[in-house]
Amino acid sequence: MSIRWSAAEEDLLVENLELGHDLHTVSMVLQRTPYSIAMKLVDLTVRGRVVVLAPATFDALSNRSRQ
């Protein structure tokens, strides 16, 4: 059985990912399993709350928007 995520936990997950923390670190911060973190990331992506980009893709989009 999974424990529900609060909005604050979801925000903390996103914040930690934006800071570049790895899955293991985020799981320790949120006291959840790495699998639970990964599944929540999938959920947030499906709901359109998170967009995951490779660094090179992000850089290309950033450079394009400055033109």
Q: How do residues 42-64 score in pLDDT, each as one tens digit?
A: 999 999 888 877 788 878 888 88
Measured at the CA of 27, the angle between CA 51 and CA 16, to 5 degrees, comes to: 45
Nearest C-alpha neighbor of 44 from the set 10, 17, 15: 10
**Rounded Cα gap, residues 44 and 36, in angstroms:** 12
Q: How do residues 11-44 score in pLDDT, each as one tens digit?
A: 999 999 889 899 999 999 999 999 999 999 999 9
pTM of the model: 0.74
Q: Check whether 1 has a pLDDT greater than 60.
A: no
The DSSP symbol for 50 reads -
Choice between 52 and 3, residue whose per-residue pLDDT is larger = 3
